[in-house]
Amino acid sequence: MTSRTRISYSLREITDRLGGKVDGDAAVTVRQVATLERATPDTIAFLANERYLPQLKSTRAGAVIVGASVRAATPIPRIVCANPYAYFAQVSALFNPALAAQPGVHASAVVDSSARVAGDAEVGPCAVVERAAVVGAGSVIGAGCFIGDGAVIGSGTRLYPNVTIYRECVIGNRVILHSGVVIGADGFGIAMNEGRWIKVPQIGRVVVGDDVEIGANTTVDRGALDDTVIEDGVKLDNQIQVAHNVRIGAHTAIAACAGIAGSATVGRYCRIGGASGIAGHLKIADNVEISTFTLITKSIGSAGTYTGAYPFERNSEWRRNAVQLKHLDELAQRVRAIEKKPAQPKRRKR
């Protein structure tokens, strides 16, 4: 629970704002959201998965959010809607709004005279805003952030402490960048010449669309020639690596520790599981779901779910199976050789 001033809403007020239908007493008032297990009479909980019906029957919540199929499963006052989890997210935002910017530039911040910072934006302690950079209306630049030469930050965007935006990168409106995010560092461009690596200058930018959220310590490299692009509505978890010239389509969500190699293109509305990897220069179609720990080594041309993770097992069993896997090619060649042999005529029984 945050230290924000507590506010309360009746179920009628909530549905007037967000839609849905109240079953039971619409005058019931709640002050916060909670899980079914830990709810108290002044909170509202939700049921999105019917396997948690036993918790619904025992919850102490003052109200619940449910789908139509379980509206009769409890006598507790309830809001009935099509998507209980999404509705819960909206209710939670209602009770826990983002803190508004506190307009002004902290005395310890360094803002170049050529930078343009909106009058209602907030620039926190020890932040740096370099030459010709732009900070849009209502945006928050947290303590210790760095905004490089010519970078543009849109309106209503929040940079938590210690975010780094390299030169000329563009961040859209209503973007959230969590602590440790680095936007626009050089991509891994090197060329071998006479036994030594030569750096390939990375002259593109990173362009981030509107309503994007990027988790803590995630890095998005600038393009080698063209831009690296994160389209509108993309959600990136913590500790993700996005390499140079990658393009991530609108409203795609990627879980923690995934890695996307250079010049890969990920479609719109994709879901990529944690610790997955996508090799460079591949194209992933729209509406693709990639399971956790899956390595993608060739392009995916159609929507669907793709899985490559090998199930875990006891180490002793894994070792035996690993030995067999080493001989798969030899076994396949033997099978092919057998298949090529002409069939022997069957002997007649005497």
Residues involved in catalysis: 244
Asked if residues 144 and 127 have their Cβ atoms less than 8 Å apart, the reply is yes
For residue 73, give the DSSP letter: S
Sorted by sequence, the CB contacts under 8 Å of residue 224 that are 6+ apart come out as: 187, 189, 200, 202, 203, 204, 244, 245, 262
CA distances from 98 to 3, 101, 138 (A): 12, 9, 12
Asked if residues 231 and 248 have their Cβ atoms less than 8 Å apart, the reply is yes
**Strand, helix or coil for residue 181:** coil
Asked if residues 168 and 150 have their Cβ atoms less than 8 Å apart, the reply is yes
Sorted by sequence, the CB contacts under 8 Å of residue 99 that are 6+ apart come out as: 4
Residues 129 and 106: their CA atoms lie apart, in Å, by 12
Asked if residues 250 and 270 have their Cβ atoms less than 8 Å apart, the reply is no
Residues 190 and 187: their CA atoms lie apart, in Å, by 9
Residues 267 and 288: their CA atoms lie apart, in Å, by 8
Q: Among all chains, which residue has been given the structure tokens 């831009």? A: 227
Sorted by sequence, the CB contacts under 8 Å of residue 157 that are 6+ apart come out as: 136, 139, 140, 171, 172, 173, 174, 175, 176, 177
**Residue in 143, 150, 140, 139 with CA at minimum distance from that of residue 114:** 150
- Pairing status of strand 63-66 against strand 78-80: parallel
Asked if residues 204 and 225 have their Cβ atoms less than 8 Å apart, the reply is yes
DSSP bridge partners of 232: none
Q: Among all chains, which residue has been given the structure tokens 């030569």? A: 198
